Each structure stands twice: as C-alpha cells, then as structure tokens.
A and B are shown apart, each in its own frame.
Chain A
C-alpha cells in the first residue's frame, strides 16, 4: 500500500542554518504531495504542496520538489528562524472520494538562537 517515510527527529539547528527534512514515499498511483506544519498546541496547517512530478512547492521560504525518479519530496529552507520550531509532516493523497491523507510520522524541528 501507499506510505510516507520521514527522517527521525528531533532536528536541532541554530538560527540561520540550512534545513533539510527528508521525505520519501511509496505510491501505487500518482499522488499529490504535501508538507503540513504543526506549531505547539495547534492543529496542522498546509505549508506547501505539489501535484505532479517536477513541481516545486514553496511558501514562507520553504521549498520542496516532487521527484518521481527518487520518490522523494524533501523539505528545505535556506535560513531557519526560531519561529520555525514545529513538527513537520509529509503526506500524500489522491484526489477522489476517499479523502485520505497518508502521513509520515512527523519530524520535530527545534531552532535555537
């Protein structure tokens, strides 16, 4: 079946460091890929998405490229801030009637000043 694998956390960085959070997926079809972010005590918010191969999603300085050849959707940011500290979830879905997002286990990012 379909699945999403994320790197284990926590990821601990100093402010202004470069961030990469790895995400790979297994899919039987051609899903859309997402990164959601969960700030402390809050629900999940969509950070960015890509709907087909080679698409790049970007938002708030974060980027991720849909790589079909490596089945990956790694999240990157050039210079993290303390306010980026959160849990990041990679997910996939197929548009249709099942309405299901398949999530990775989440990666906690901690950014220190």
Chain B
C-alpha cells in the first residue's frame, strides 16, 4: 500500500530533551516536506527536500533540523524542544513534476 508513515504518533516530552520524529514514504517520491498545524493558523511548512541531500527552509524553520540521507526517509529533529513547539506535525511527499502531496497521519507533540 502506498503511504507515508510517521512515528511516533503521540509524544510528550520536556523542554530541552532532544527528539526525532521519523517520516518514511514507499512511493519513491523525490519531494518531502514537514508541516506543523496550529489552531487558527492552518498548516505551515517547516522544511522541505527536493531529493537526497537537498533540503531547504520553509516558513517556520526555527528550532528544527532535517536530514535526507535516503530517498524514502525525512526525519524531523528538535534538538532542544520548547513549549511553543507543541503542535501537530505532518510529513508529506510528492513525485517531481506533480502537484499532489500525500500526507502522513500526523504526530501530536506536547512539550512541557
């Protein structure tokens, strides 16, 4: 089944404790993105990647890191999480030349 998977789905952590949210797609898509969803703000792009070893900032990259060492994986790293990073996070992917993005199920993060 073609899909985007994220782990974990739910995470409670404390300020300053490094964490990684994994994202994996099995569709051989070149493009991958991370978004965060906050009430009243919709979804905003954090980082995106056009292919292996090619990443760039989205609209709200502060406090986040990403890497793209393999085509299928695009982890999101919070090196020192803060409470304002409490949010619902979505990973998405698409094939180059197409516009439709496929979203993962989301990761709900609470930073205390």
Contact = CB atoms under 8 A, between A and B. Distances in A.
Interface of A: 4, 32, 34, 36, 41-46, 49, 51, 89, 93, 95, 97-101, 103-106
Contacts, number: 58
Most buried by B among A34, A42, A43, A105: A43
Given A99-B50, A100-B45, A105-B41, A32 B106 contact: no
Given A49-B100, A100-B48, A105 B90 contact: no
Tell me the dominant secondary structure on chain A's binding face.
loop
Interface of B: 4, 31, 33, 35, 40-45, 48, 50, 56, 58-59, 90, 92, 94, 97, 99-106
Tell me the dominant secondary structure on chain B's binding face.
strand
B41 A43 contact: no
B105 A42 contact: yes
Contact of B45 (A4, A41, A101): A101
Given A89-B43, A105-B42, A106-B42, A99 B48 contact: yes
